[in-house]
Amino acid sequence: MLSTLTHPNRPGHADGMPDPEVPERARRRRFSAQYKLAVLGEVEAASEPGEVGAILRREGLYSSHLVEWRRARERGALAALARPRGRPRPHPLAGEVERLRRHNARLEQRLATATRIIEIQGKVSELLGIPLAPESDDDESGC
């Protein structure tokens, strides 16, 4: 059972013929971790003589590729390559959490200012001899 795994970056036409155009400067081929694992899986599933060679010819690979890829898989390097590159995505609620933190900081600032104002009003009322209504425990609940 030969399935075509042809790498999407391989040059060629839809009919399978190679592209006769030669690039000005050769570029090193790159294979994704998913592709490497798929090829290794197909090669290891090959049971008939010559089947591995046919896979290598079809994919345009060398046996040294298989050796390197097997070693990388044993080291766990292919699993590491399969992870997406770049910065990790932020948590979906991270923006909301940050907004609420800023809002909380503003409210704490306002509370501190209000507390200072109340203390000053109490001192001024003492100096002027104006009696203030006594504080009740219900007012301190904050609700």
Render pLDDT for 30-58 as a digit per residue (tens, 0 to 9): 888 889 989 999 999 998 999 999 999 99
Position 137 scores a pLDDT of 59
User: Which stretch of DSSP H or E encloses residue 120?
Assistant: helix 94-128
Position 110 scores a pLDDT of 98
Model confidence, pTM: 0.44
**What's the CA gap between 62 and 60, in Å, rounded?**
7
Q: What is the DSSP string of 80-112?
A: HHTSPPSSPPPPTTHHHHHHHHHHHHHHHHHHH
R_g over Cα of the chain = 36
Most confident of 12-26, 73-87, 94-108: 94-108
Is pLDDT larger for residue 134 or for residue 13?
134
Mean pLDDT taken over the chain: 82
Render pLDDT for 88-111 as a digit per residue (tens, 0 to 9): 788 889 999 999 999 999 999 999
Render pLDDT for 105-118 as a digit per residue (tens, 0 to 9): 999 999 999 999 99
Q: Which amino acid, one-letter code, is at 69?
A: W
**What's the CA gap between 93 and 103, in Å, rounded?**
15
Position 142 scores a pLDDT of 55
